[in-house]
Amino acid sequence: MSFNFLASTKVTKNTVSSKQSGFGLVELMVSISVMTIVSAIILARQDAFNSAVLLRSQAYEIALALREVQLSAVSASGDSGSFRTVYGVYFTDDASLLADPANGYFQVFKDGNDNGFYDSGEEYGPVGKLDERFEVREIRIGSGTEAEVSVVFVRPNFDALFYDDGAGGPVAESVVEIDVARRDFPGSGPDVVRTIEITSTGQIAVLGS
């Protein structure tokens, strides 16, 4: 009985060669399209994530400024030599109301006429400049909205007083909310809007964290 070794080897080589064929043009185009779509989605999500992180950081910077003013107000030291110096932070959603409106939405002030409200000439420290990508979108006192509000702290209490103008006493509300938002972006999600909440008991928090 004879065995044709060469014929057997030839068949095996042909069989292996037919199984090692590569991608076709259609398969290659489909693969490239899928990779392009996935990359676009990842980049879009990365941009939204970066903006959300920056917005969160901006909101915490404002909350920190409030806390520093609160501590300065109740401290027993000051550059004026007066332990009854009243400090506050003025907020507005209309930057033109500030003495230095260049991209500013809040101002630390030292109340010189004891009306509890920010007046031109009472500036203390730099105007509160936000990143140009953000803005103060809305200010709420209780259930109403205002274009401006002063949050004031008076020694020796950590409590906050709220004034919506300089004509009368503090507003009888328990909370003020400041919405900091991405400029020209609609919506209310945490990647678009963060809220700084100040309570009358002196608590300061960033909501939507």
Please tell me the total count of domains within the chain.
Answer: 1
CATH code of residue 130: 3.55.40.10
Residue 48 CB neighbour total at 10 angstroms: 14
Is 100 contained in some domain?
yes
Q: Is residue 155 part of a domain?
A: yes
Q: Of the candidates 85, 109, 87, which has an alpha carbon nearest to the alpha carbon of residue 97?
A: 109
Q: Is 198 exposed, middle or buried (0-12, 13-18, 19+ CB in 10 A)?
A: buried
> CA angle, corner 57, sides to 136 and 152, nearest 5?
55
Q: What is the pLDDT of residues 68-125, one digit of tens each?
A: 889 888 875 555 555 567 889 999 888 777 766 666 788 888 888 888 888 888 888 7
Supply the Cα-derived Rg of the chain in whole angstroms: 31
User: Is residue 133 included in any domain, yes or no?
Assistant: yes
Task: Report the first-to-last Cα separation within the chain, whole angstroms.
Answer: 84
Place of tokens 């939204």: 48
Cα distance between residue 201 and residue 199, in whole Å: 5
- pTM for the complete prediction? 0.70
Query: Would residue 87 count as lying in a domain?
Result: yes
Tell me the residue length of the chain. Answer: 209
pLDDT score recorded for residue 102: 62
Query: Quick check: is 174 in a domain?
Result: yes
Residues of the chain with pLDDT under 70: 1-23, 39-40, 42-50, 76-84, 99-103, 166-167, 209
Residue 44 forms part of a structural domain: yes
Phi, psi angle pair for 86, to nearest 5°: -100, 125
- Confidence (pLDDT) at 164: 86
Domain range enclosing 103: 28-207
